[in-house]
Amino acid sequence: MAVAHDVLVVGGGGAGLRAAIAVAEADPRLSVAIVSKVYPMRSHTVSAEGGAAAVAGGDDSLDEHAYDTVSGSDWLCDQDAVEAFVGEAPRELLRLEHQGCPWSRTPDGHIAVRAFGGMRKKRTWFAADKTGFHMLHTLFQTTLSYQDIVRYDEWFVTSLLVDNGRVGGVVAIELATGRIETIIAKAVIMCTGGCGRVYPFTTNANIKTGDGMALAYRAGAPLKDMEFPQYHPTGLPFTGILITEAARAEGGWLLNKDGYRYLQDYDLGRPEPGPVLRSMELGPRDRLSQAFVHEVAKGRTTDTPYGPIVHLDLRHLGADVIDAKLPFVRELCARYEHIDPVRELIPVRPVIHYMMGGIHTDLDGAAGLDGLYAAGEAACVNINGANRLGSNSLPELLVFGARAGRAAAAFAASAGDAESQAVHAQAKDERHRLEKWLSRQGEGPDRIADLRTEMQETMENGAGIYRDEGSLAKAANELQRLRERFSDAAIDDRSRVFNTELVATLELSFMLDVAESIVTCALRRAESRGAHQRTDFPARDDERFLAHSLAHREPDGTCRVAYLPVTITRWPPSERVYGR
């Protein structure tokens, strides 16, 4: 037996909820469902802090937002996608306000905007420093008004079903019971978020294991620009919890162990003279993270049990500003570091934050297989290129979640039945695979947690802020050995109810696929651009690499890389600047 829907959204975060709403609005006759491995309000969108970028009038313009995004991306974004994005972002944020999102306001009642890294104008809308929390609440409450949207909360998708190049649904496990179910769908939208957990230090929640990316990759859809994981320069050293860029937007300083604002010693991409001391903390995230590595090499950081750190200083802002605009930062510091940023320095270090790459899609989220769409961080449309500007990701999931939802609705309305013998045969094979994992004893000594830790260390050491051919080749070899050991690993938990060890096993298999695509693409890109910094190829090479990488999974499981030209509409490649 199987259940069936016209459109199935995999992932219950911001992109998934926005996509489901778009389907319901586009064609109320369609059956739409959301399957999520956590309750939607526990999706990672809830942890976004700083804000959402969109032109709010004044002296700002769509062209300026587009240019900042293009320049920040180191010219690797598709400019047609950027222009669509900046044009639709203000409407999406206003729509959220009408649905109840409590944007912070100025004393005269206008929407408040703050500065954010790499942007020349203040255009980041915010709700104190809990923007993602309020956005996700608003979207979730809105879905409740559509009674025909069905939710499968705490279900884990393990396989994407495809018959002759067309998606037919998924296989998923109900975590509460262990029941394995086939869910037939005419269209599937992947909105499963990023893959930060392939690295050891990350702001990402434990659920962000690249599931949707790997599902699409295994089904035949390519992954695009996977060599560009983004480090955020200010994460707490033990937990990886994010200290939002808003803390620097409000005037926070980054200090080395000597109390010196070290960013003034580095080229952050600002070629002309100006008030550098005022703006340098809002340089692009990749440049700030790279500066940290140089401070470590110079011996100007502080050693801790969790690696070297610098400090973020908010003390000069005062309690009133911090409590009004950064209350969550103060709460996080108290709970996880036992310090008060009103009076004490915050220890920080760069941590993996966001994946610029993802499932290759067009402007409407179509992912290369009939009926397959993707949006949010799981997708790569591509507006982020080699470096995402902070506060672009939240409006991105709204704009392209809506576009994917409308496109999937149109496809499902005109498509025939997705159910077929081949789809049911694949579902039967997947059921047997999952049952085998539960029953197997395993031949090797390895446990899933140990393999995961080794994978994360391999990625940090080989494909971190700086890479070279030697480190990447070593990482590729170690990942291959980990995959071989994984095939012999066993799990001890044989239960059906909330078997977290089985989930961790399936997640690790996804992460190994994603990690391999990151390393393979990084090995092929013999240049330095944005978040991809090759010490053996330190210059940007537009002649050879002004192109997107496309990682294809071969029948033998290996990764093949091809290239796709970048779409340039109005801004030819030039020197990268910020805050001009």
Short-list 508, 525, 516, 524, CA closest to 479: 516
Among all chains, which residue has been given the structure tokens 């990764």? Answer: 559
Structure confidence at residue 203 (pLDDT): 94
The catalytic position among 248, 285, 529, 540 is 248
Angle of helix 469-487 relative to helix 500-524, nearest 10 degrees, comes to: 150
Sign of CA dihedral 55, 60, 66, 68: negative
The two structure tokens encoding residue 212:
């949707």
Whole-angstrom distance, CA of residue 105 vs CA of residue 15: 25
Q: How confident is the model at residue 577 (pLDDT cuts 50, 70, 90)?
A: low
Q: How confident is the model at residue 578 (pLDDT cuts 50, 70, 90)?
A: low
Whole-angstrom distance, CA of residue 300 vs CA of residue 258: 7
Whole-angstrom distance, CA of residue 355 vs CA of residue 213: 11
Q: Evaluate if residue 269 carries a pLDDT over 80.
A: no
The catalytic position among 232, 330, 403, 406 is 232
**Burial of 454 per CB tally in 10 Å (0-12, 13-18, 19+):** middle
Whole-angstrom distance, CA of residue 245 vs CA of residue 259: 20
Whole-angstrom distance, CA of residue 468 vs CA of residue 192: 30
Rg of the chain, C-alpha, whole Å = 23
Structure confidence at residue 438 (pLDDT): 82
Whole-angstrom distance, CA of residue 283 vs CA of residue 16: 31
Structure confidence at residue 273 (pLDDT): 45
Annotation says 440 is catalytic: no
The two structure tokens encoding residue 267:
């080229």
The two structure tokens encoding residue 299:
């011996």
Percentage of the residues of the chain whose pLDDT score is greater than 70: 97
Tens of pLDDT, residue by residue over 101-142, are 999 999 998 999 988 888 889 999 999 889 999 999 999 999
Structure confidence at residue 233 (pLDDT): 94
Residue type, 69: T
Annotation says 91 is catalytic: no
pTM: 0.95
DSSP label at residue 389: P
Short-list 306, 307, 309, 324, CA closest to 254: 309
Tens of pLDDT, residue by residue over 319-369, are 999 999 999 999 999 999 999 999 999 999 999 999 999 999 999 999 999
Q: Chain-wide mean pLDDT for the chain?
A: 94
Q: Evaluate if residue 455 carries a pLDDT over 60.
A: yes
Q: What angle do CA 378, 381, 387 make, to 5 degrees?
A: 80
Q: How many CB atoms lie within 10 A of CB 284?
A: 30
Tens of pLDDT, residue by residue over 416-449, are 888 899 999 999 999 999 998 888 765 667 889 9
Q: Which of 142-151, 274-283, 294-303, 320-329 has the lowest mean pLDDT?
A: 274-283
Please give the CATH architecture assigned to the domain spanning 443-565: Up-down Bundle (1.20)
Please give the CATH architecture assigned to the domain spanning 234-350: Alpha-Beta Complex (3.90)
Q: How many helices (H) and strands (E) does the chain have?
A: 16, 19
For residue 32, give Cα distances in angstroms to 222, 402, 405, 407, 422: 26, 14, 10, 13, 23
In the chain, what are the domain boundaries?
234-350, 443-565
Long-range contacts of 56-63 (CB under 8 A, 24+ apart): 56/90, 56/110, 56/111, 56/113, 56/123, 56/125, 58/121, 59/121, 60/121, 60/122, 60/123, 62/86, 62/87
Q: How many CB atoms lie within 10 A of CB 61?
A: 14
Structure confidence at residue 444 (pLDDT): 66
Contact (CB, 8 A) for 285 and 301: no
Q: What DSSP line would sit under 23-63, residue for residue?
A: HHHH-TTS-EEEEESS-GGGSGGGG--S-EE---STT--HH
